[in-house]
Amino acid sequence: MELNLLGKNVLITAASKGIGKATAERFIKEGCNVAICSRNQENLSKAAHEIKSLYNKEPLCIVCDINKLEDIVNTFKVVNETFGAIDILVNNCGGPRAGYFEELSDDDWDFAFKQILMSAVRFIRLVLPAMKERKWGRIINITSVSVKQPIDNLILSNSMRNAVTALAKTLSNQVGKYNITINNVAPGYTLTSRIYELSEIKAKQLGTTQEAVLSSMAEEVPVKRLASPHEVAALIAFLASDHAGYITGSTIAIDGGVIKATY
Ligand code: NAD
């Protein structure tokens, strides 16, 4: 299927690794002007180099801690000065701290609030005026299956990502008339550094190996494997295309069937 995204200006946040990086690769492949940001220049350069070696075009890299307003404003400014107005915003973030309710402090909650909800609010606030003016825009938030089926030791993720889900649904009602869609992509177990980190924590808790945890995760999934980040990127690219112009305010799980609910 032709996605017809050639020449679109795309910003993907928190994208030096994992799903964000795979998404950057996908949009570069589609001929878009892609900007990525994350906190660490070295990781950004590594990602840019890898992407260039595949597609002979590299993303614009901007150092940005998405928990900081001034970094967000700077990222937006650099992308605008380099490419012009942003057509497609993919809001990603690092995974929040794992932990049960009793283990988390006010600081942990404040951090997760800035990391997950406020980063999305702030980037959306900046990109929206030009999208409205140009009467076209796509905003896609990467959340988690935890919005539909809470994960026991990820209470920060379960809580804050549902705030993003409600933000997207509420705002989609107001911006649909400008041909702007806002959706959430909710991945299940996806093979990235995040899943290695979480599986290591779980292995320590259970007194087992990381390999055993990863294979029991795969066993939980009806399709009996973990996702590739490129499969998640393909869904994001589809949602960004005109083929998906009638999908808005939705949360689409890409989870190999791991969510047990009917819908
Ligand atoms: P990852 O750890 O592989 O990559 C996260 C990226 O975010 C990295 O590039 C990192 O540098 C960047 N980042 C982290 N904190 C940042 C900050 N403050 N400012 C700027 N950049 C920052 O993670 P992933 O597996 O690709 O996951 C992406 C998102 O999807 C996460 O929010 C994660 O919780 C969620 N998710 C992942 C899975 C999974 O199985 N991998 C499942 C459900 C949800």
> Residue 77's domain is classified under what CATH number?
3.40.50.720
Which tokens sit at 248?
């808005």
- Statement to judge: residues 109 and 163 lie in one domain: yes
Q: Rounded distance, CA 131 to CA 205, Å?
A: 46
**101 and 39, same structural domain?**
yes
Q: Is residue 80 part of a domain?
A: yes
> Quick one: which atom of ligand 1 is closest to the CA of 189?
40
Atom 32 (ligand 1): residue with closest C-alpha? Answer: 95
Give the pLDDT confidence score for residue 227 in this predicted structure.
98
How far, in Å, CA of 87 to CA of 103, rounded?
A: 40
Same domain, 208 and 168: no
Average pLDDT value for the chain: 97
CA of 47 to the centre of ligand 1 (A): 14
Q: Report pLDDT for 263.
A: 84
- Domain residue limits at 143: 9-189+228-254
* Domains held by the chain: number: 2
pLDDT at 240: 98
Please give the Cα distance from 200 to 207 (Å, whole number). Answer: 10
**47 and 117, same structural domain?**
yes
Cα 156 to ligand 1 centroid, rounded to whole Å: 14
**Residue 122 shares a structural domain with residue 184:** yes
- In ligand 1, the atom with minimum distance to the C-alpha of 190 is 40
Q: How does DSSP classify residue 146?
A: G
The per-residue pLDDT for range 194-243, each reduced to its tens digit, is 899 889 988 999 999 999 999 999 999 999 999 999 999 999 999 999 99
Question: To test ligand 1's pocket by mutation, which of 21, 23, 38, 111 has the most ligand atoms within 8 angstroms of CB?
Answer: 38
Percentage of residues of the chain with pLDDT beyond 70: 100
- Print burial letters for 119-149: b (CB count within 10 Å at least 16), e (below 16): bbbbbbebbbebbeeeebbbbbbbbbbbbbb
Q: Cα(199) to centroid of ligand 1, in Å?
A: 14
Whole-number Å distance, alpha carbon 187 to ligand 1 midpoint, is 11
Give the distance (Å) from ligand 1 centre to CA of residue 194.
Answer: 6
Q: Are residues 69 and 143 in the same domain?
A: yes
- Identify the residues whose C-beta falls under 6 Å from ligand 1: 14-20, 38-39, 43, 64-67, 92-95, 115, 142, 144, 187, 189-190, 192-195
Residues 28-52: what's their mean pLDDT? 98
Sign, CA torsion 40/122/171/145: positive
- Calculate how far, in angstroms, residue 13's C-alpha sits from the geometric centre of ligand 1: 10
Residues 220 and 140 in one domain: no
DSSP conformational letter for 98: P
Q: How far is the CA of 26 from the centre of ligand 1 (A)?
A: 17
Three-class SS state of 137: strand
Which structure tokens are listed for 262? 């009917």
Q: What is the 8-class DSSP label of residue 154? A: B
Same structural domain, 91 and 75: yes
Please give the Cα distance from 44 to 62 (Å, whole number): 8
Q: Is residue 262 part of a domain?
A: no
- Burial of 230 per CB tally in 10 Å (0-12, 13-18, 19+): middle
Q: How far is CA 44 from the centre of its chain?
A: 16
Q: Determine which residue's CA is closest to atom 5 belonging to ligand 1.
A: 94
Cα-to-chain-centroid distance, residue 92: 3
Distance in angstroms (rounded) separating the CA atoms of residues 182 and 249: 6
If asked whether residues 69 and 146 sit together in one domain, one would say yes
- Alpha helix ranges (H) inside the chain: 18-29, 41-55, 69-83, 106-112, 119-134, 155-175, 193-206, 210-220, 229-240
Which residue has its alpha carbon closest to ligand 1 atom 22? 14
User: Considering the domain boundaries, does residue 195 fall inside one?
Assistant: yes
* Per-residue pLDDT at 118: 98
Residues 114, 198, single domain; the answer is no
Token pair in block for residue 98: 């794992």
Token pair in block for residue 188: 């299940």
Look at the chain and count its residues.
263
Decide if 158 is inside a domain: yes
Distances (CA, A) of 231 to 134, 153, 186, 235: 30, 26, 12, 7
pLDDT in tens, 111-133: 999 999 999 999 999 999 999 99
Phi, psi of 32, rounded to the nearest 5 degrees = -85, 165
